[in-house]
Amino acid sequence: MPAKSRIPTTADASKKAGATIRRARPELYAARQFLDRETQADLGVRIPFDVYFQDPFVTSSNKAYDFDVEFAVPWEPGLVDGPTSARFAIVDYDGATEVLNAPARWNEELAKFVDS
């Protein structure tokens, strides 16, 4: 009697697609100039993160300067916690309290930065 084979689920397909994109990300990065921003985001070559363009105190008095929820940067090889790359380094330092906060951690599986 043949062994029963498991029927693939949507979750299996999604996990496999994510693994394929992670493997192909360096090649996608090299070709990103030929892809529009939406396609880059869909393929994980652009990653979103929350950014304050103004001091948090300023945003409390004027919501026009709040988070830019549509901000995304290109993924690139060597992207590490911080976020830090060859092009930028994010340091979460509060000058008022002189506190240096831990960097956001890059989660390769989720393809995004997570709180430390």
pLDDT in tens, 52-97: 666 667 777 777 766 666 778 888 888 889 888 888 888 888 888 9
The span from the CA of 34 to the CA of 31, in Å, is: 6
Query: In total, how many domains does the chain have?
Result: 1
Task: Calculate mean pLDDT across residues 41-62.
Answer: 75
Residue 68's domain spans which residues? 10-114
Q: Is residue 2 part of a domain?
A: no
Structural domain contains residue 47: yes
What is the band of 47 on the pLDDT scale with cuts at 50, 70, 90?
Answer: confident
pTM of the entire predicted model = 0.57
Residue 40 lies in a domain: yes
Contact 45, 69 (CB under 8 A): no
Asked, for residue 20, whether it belongs to a domain, the answer is: yes
